[in-house]
Structure 1
Amino acid sequence: MSTGPILVVGLGCQRGCPASTLRELLDQTLRAHGIELSEVRALASIDLKRDEPGLLELAEQLELPLTCFNAEQLSSYQQRLSHRSEIAFERTGCYGIAESAALALADRLGATPATLLIPRQKTPSATLALAVTS
């Protein structure tokens, strides 16, 4: 297993958001922060998005595992979020899907508590955050 930081991308999106939109947000965000796509270990989201075609297609394209967490698991991360969305809470029961999911999966994969390397990035139909652990 490779050593070094474990980078996890958390994603949220509206229903029907195409993989191309998610990929564009991911590519732009990584480029802006000087991170190679090959450094990303996994994708994470909320279980409500487990069957979302765009997310599944993106995970397949990138050959990365997609792990989904339930709202209860994600809500425990609300104190660590850079942004709390009331709309997200009303719809899902957690205040931020992308950041919470990234932190949850990075915490699971790493030996140290995860931190947000890139806080929530947003387009009209998608959100993305990047968490890191070691």
Structure 2
Amino acid sequence: MTLVVGLGCQRGCDVHTLLGLFDAALAEGGIERQRITALASIDRKRDEPGLLALSNMLNLPLRCFSATQLALFEPRLSHRSAVAFAHTGCYGIAESAALALAEQLSHRPARLLITRKKVAQATFALACAD
């Protein structure tokens, strides 16, 4: 099973905030950290220090997608954020990115296993493809 975590964050969000959200969401879902295949986000976060640090800390690849690529997943989102759309051109980064990468890696349809979880500076979602 391919399990992908999608992450969105404000500029300057630190790795400890991201890791706390990551671990809390996985614990709530009963999923072990080592089952995660990869991390995903939007391309404008490709150089975000907190995301890069989390990727290195967890030894997971971080793949990023354009807003155009992520917008294709809008009908499948559990939540549509007007704020995210105003800043990025897509309505949900974490869920869209998780779905996009899970489908890219598995070559099969993906679904959201954990819908959007949010803290002040970041969002998390988990997609799986069987």
TM-score normalised by length of structure 1: 0.96
CA shift, 1:112, in A, is: 2.1
Residue of structure 2 equivalent to 1:16: 12
Trace 1:26-65 onto structure 2 (pairs within 5 A). Answer: 26-65=22-61
Cα separation, 2, equivalents of 1:23 and 1:10: 13
Residue of structure 2 equivalent to 1:90: 86
CA-to-partner distance for each residue in 1:6-56, whole Å, 9 max, x for gaps? 100000000000011000000001111110000000000000100000000
Residue of structure 2 equivalent to 1:67: 63
Matching residue within 74, 98, 101 for 1:105: 101
SS in 2 for 1:128: strand
The aligned amino acid for 1:108 is Q
The aligned amino acid for 1:22 is L
Can you give the 5+ residue segments of structure 2 that lack an aligned partner in the other structure?
none
The aligned amino acid for 2:95 is E
Root-mean-square deviation over aligned CA pairs: 0.5
Identity %: 61
CA-to-partner distance for each residue in 1:47-92, whole Å, 9 max, x for gaps? 0100000000000000000000000000000000000001100100
Cα separation, 1, equivalents of 2:107 and 2:95: 19
The aligned amino acid for 1:51 is D
Structure 1: 4+ residue segments shifted above 2 A: none
- Alignment coverage as a number of residue pairs: 130
